[in-house]
Amino acid sequence: MSMRWSTGIIRTLTVGCAVGLLFVAPPATRAQDAAIAVGVPDAVSILNSGLDPGVVEEVTAETDPATCKDPGGCYTVKLAVKNKQQTIVAAEMEYYPSSCQEVSTGEWSGIKSPTHGNYGNTTITGTLSNGDCAGITFTFGALYYTADKVTEKKVKDELKASWKTKDYPSVCGTCKVEVTAHIKIAD
């Protein structure tokens, strides 16, 4: 499902029922970003990435400046992962919706290290599920989490990071997004 906001920015909401995936990018709020969009990969791209998709239980998006300091929005993901498997937490990329030209995979920074696992950055290729650039292959900057071997039951962890592009804030004032992952680790 692709959404077009009054500023002309496209944000993509992707749902994959088979594994319970839900990735969301919150709406842009500034008119200067009308020529640039931030997109997330569709569920098939996540499944074909070679990384574990995990099971996303809930996603909460926040764009209120009083609670979300990143201008591109903030979202919280509740995610269940397996031990020792690299699991995608989030993936983003910047592109021009008018030409479907990729601009940047961005970079993940400001990462708050998890307690029971490790994190890493990579890129994955995939498509947006619909919208102006549906079916076009893009490269997404992905953040992943790998749980250490845990012997306890119901262990929880947290990973927090910000994604942004080199165009932030001069060309794309909303190309900075914060992601917080609340992670449950399976046996």
Domain that includes residue 173, residue range: 2-185
Q: Show the CA angle centred on residue 110, arms to residues 28 and 81, nearest 5°.
A: 85
Span 48-75, pLDDT tens digits: 999 999 999 999 998 888 999 899 999 9
- Using pLDDT thresholds of 50, 70 and 90, give the confidence band for residue 34: low
Pick the more confident residue, 5 or 98.
98
Q: Is the pLDDT of residue 20 over 50?
A: no
Residue 13: C-alpha distances to residues 1, 61, 79, 138, 153 (Å)? 6, 11, 17, 16, 32
Closest by Cα among 77, 61, 66, 94 to 144: 77
| CB proximity list for 117: less than 8 A, separation 6 or greater | 81, 145, 146, 147, 148, 157, 159, 183, 185
What's the domain count of the chain?
1
DSSP SS3 for 43: helix
CA pair distance 103, 110, nearest whole angstrom: 22
Span 102-155, pLDDT tens digits: 999 999 999 998 999 999 999 999 998 777 898 899 999 999 999 887 766 778
- Whether the pTM exceeds 0.75: the reply is yes
**Tokens 């498997």 found at:** 85
Average pLDDT, the chain: 81
**Least confident interval from 25-39, 68-82, 159-173:** 25-39
